[in-house]
Amino acid sequence: MPPKLNELAATELVVLLARREIRAEQVVQACLERIAEREPQVQAWSHLAAEAALDHARKLDRGAVQGLLHGLPLGVKDLFDTFDMPTTYGSAIYASQQPAADAAAVALCREQGAIMLGKTVTTEFATFNPGKTRNPHRTTHTPGGSSSGSAAAVADHMVPLAFASQTAASVIRPAAYCGIVGYKPSFGRISRAGVKSLSDGLDTIGCLGKTVDDVALFTAALTGERGLLELDATHTPRIALCQTHEWPHADADTQAAMTQAASVLARLGLSVPMLSLPQPFAGLLQAQSEIMAFDLAHSLADERLRHADLLSTSLTNLLKMGQGITLEHHRSNLQLARMARSMVSAAIGEHEVLLVPSTTGEAPATLEQTGNPVFGRVWTLLGLPCVHLPFSQGQTGMPVGLQVVGRFGDDKNVLRAAKWLMQRLPEVA
């Protein structure tokens, strides 16, 4: 049977919508029908704006094609302010909050013709205390965090695209666990205005989609970089594999994904070396954890001072950790990060991108935690562009993949390399 409209990639939908071969109302209705069927099991949404979305779709159907995202329903992570929907940041403190304005990224997507279908579940202040969302592949497993609802909604065909954000690993990890494409751009590439601030030096706006072209389309709409609309994947990128200093955390499934990638690339006749990062990079994992905790203790000062009783134990402990870090030690961490950023280009060397682990392995079989962010932290601290590629499965059949990482600001080439790899890596090694 042909796929339903809600099962199509965003890039397929925008073409059909622009040609008026389908109506935006049909796409929204297909998504709502899928949500009605699956939301009781997956629980991806904190707020659904069904009638408003249908009304908006009908208006778009009556008018001219509005922009790059004309007629596409989007999921908005509940860390992003929306003028017409509640924004709770995953916390009871803000249960009744109704912002007066959209986050800049949300407003820009509306300008490009997107339809905000609703708010997707985030963990508490986008940290590590889980929300209600389950992994759509197996509902006894975590979908990851903090962009849990967004990842689950896209993976379960409830919506073609969704907003995400990453302060540690909150784009890449849920994308990996749910088996979709996740893109964390270079730091600062997409405006953070109107998104709850956690760490001014780490917070990064990203997106989740079904294909690399989907996340490129989303980013083009947000940044105006039209060159992302046609990623030329005929060029063979110069790739190196990199296990990173965190490799001891990788389980058999992530190790197998790395082996599969090496095998496929070798059969294509490519010389793909195993690259080692400089020794100072070994300290970045701890530095990122401490910088994030220090910043959280400051950015969530009002919440911890006035609403301590409404904070989870895990967040309270994280804030206490941040309060215990001295300014001198924090500055030392920042200095290490600056030094490592200055070394990245030389470390990558003649290669265009690195292929590195995304997660320790499959999504853990628990709803009590969101999984280990160990393989995302360092790249977030360095501010580098990352794209998760969902090309394999673990031993129990859950999604597994790797992420493509490139130089700061080289996002187009990273996306192009990711598309090239995604066309080839799913081959069984």
Residue 305, amino acid: L
Phi, psi (5° rounding) for residue 89? 55, 20
Q: Can you read off the two tokens belonging to residue 336?
A: 């290490």
CA distance linking residue 34 with residue 39, whole number of Å: 8
Please confirm, yes or no, whether 358 is among the known catalytic residues.
no
Angle, helices 10-18/212-223, rounded to nearest 10 degrees:
60
- Show the CA angle centred on residue 6, arms to residues 50 and 95, nearest 5°: 35
Please pick, among 147, 148, 170, 186, the residue that the annotation labels catalytic.
Answer: 170
Per-residue three-class SS string for 35-47: HHHHHHHHCCEEE
CA distance linking residue 38 with residue 79, whole number of Å: 23
CA distances from 369 to 83, 124, 165, 416, 423 (A): 31, 12, 18, 33, 33
Tokens 């013709």 sit at which residue?
Answer: 113
User: Cα–chain-centroid distance for residue 211?
Assistant: 13
Q: Can you read off the two tokens belonging to residue 363?
A: 């999504």
Please confirm, yes or no, whether 165 is among the known catalytic residues.
no
Please pick, among 146, 147, 186, 312, the residue that the annotation labels catalytic.
Answer: 146
Please confirm, yes or no, whether 342 is among the known catalytic residues.
no
Q: Can you read off the two tokens belonging to residue 416?
A: 């192009």
- Any idea which residues carry the catalytic annotation? 77, 146, 170
